[in-house]
Structure formats: C-alpha cells, structure tokens
Amino acid sequence: MTKVVLITGASRGIGRATALLLAQQGYAVGVNYLQDQAAAEQVVSQILEQGGKAMALQANIAEEDEVVAMFAALEQTLGPIDALVNNAGILFQQTGIEQLSAERINKVLSTNVTGYFLCCREAVKRMAWRHGGQGGAIVNVSSAAARLGAPWEYIDYAASKGAVDTLTTGLALEVAAQGIRVNGVRPGCIYTEMHASGGEPGRVDRVKTLLPMQRGGQPEEIAEVIAWLLSDAASYVTGSFIEAAGGR
C-alpha cells in the first residue's frame, strides 16, 4: 500500500530534495508551497514523469484555516497521511537585536513555530490510533543554530528553531503510545535558496572552513536523513535529533 507524505516548503531546497527522494521510495507526495506555484508544479511533474504520485498544495502554514484545508485536500486526493515533514521556514537578513522589530519577530515565529504546531496537530488527528489512524512518523527540520547559537546565524531564526526542538521532544513523548514517532533533523550550512536569499549570498562558502568537514552540505544529504527517520529502519527511534552539520 502506498504511503502518503506531506512536505511543507517542498518547492525548493531541502523540501524539494526530500519530495523527490521519497517519491522514488514509493511515497505519494503532497508538495506544499507558499507562493512559487511554478516551482511546486515542476516538482510534481518530475515525480509524475518517474511514475510516482504527487500533488501541489498551496498554503501558508502560519494560517490555521489554510493548514486545515491543506490536510483535507491531501487526504481527499492521495489518501490518509502516513508521514509529515515540517520543513517550511522563513529567514530574514541578518541584523542585531537592536534593529529587530516585533513585526519581523512575529513573522518568523508564526511560520517557523506556529506553522509547525498546526501541521503536527492535524497530522496527529489523522495518525493517532485513538482516532482510528494507523500511526505514522513526523520529522521536524530544525537547525544547528538551535543548538550552537552560531555567530553567523540570525537570532530570531535560531530562537524559532530552538522552539521547534522543544516541540519535537514534547510531542514525541505525548504521541509515542499512539503509534507516532517524532524526530528532528538539525541541518547546518546547506546550499539552499533560503541561505542565499537571507541577505548573505555565498554565506555557506564563507563559513565552511569553520566546519570539521570543510564544506557545506547539499539538500540531498539532508533528504537522506529525513527519509531514514521516516522509514521502518528507524522504527525504534523517537524524540531524537540527527545533527547534519558537517561535524560541528
């Protein structure tokens, strides 16, 4: 039976790489996007061309009504959800705390934290045994910044990812007895559009010498970690975090 996965922020970067990999592994994939419909449709087309199943799902995960509608559309078209990858996130240009506004902070938190909570809530409603679900797995994409507080990271972004780690740990404890595994991945310096567009193009190349492995990571490398955590090979793993940060 085909498993169904929803990946938020799947039109580019780590989300896109994860969508393509999981489709190759036999998942039917919900490709969530916020604005770039063309990019999301390109991911869907590539999956369909390779014989897989996929659909594009436009939703702002910071908006509760849109999240609820997205899960309903996924279930109606692809079937009951088996896996969720919380990956969507926003990152603004680096700045000191004295220049941070409430508007910017709230935008970061509403997507990077509230959005993750809402998607986890809707997934649990459908996966939990007590609701007649078949169990499942959730992977929350966090950041090495949540653990390191690295000087080149953005403080509001790092704080939001610290909250994601707390969500991951708490939810794993809450739903383990309902057949749902919840784990986190903490990517480090990865070559993605997010890092290129956050006000510092070339940032990964500038900091890679600080890493033990002396290089930045590729989205496909993070996708492999996510896929493993969702798989039966990780069936006894929950409440755990994998550092995918080049050794730092």
Could you list the active site residues? 157
CA 149 – CA 243 distance, rounded (Å): 14
What are residue 54's phi and psi, to 5 degrees?
-165, 160
Spatial CA neighbour of 32 closest among 48, 53, 14, 55: 55
- Tokens describing residue 153: 């990271």
What contacts 11, CB < 8 A, 6 or more positions away? Answer: 31, 32, 33, 36, 39, 40, 42, 43
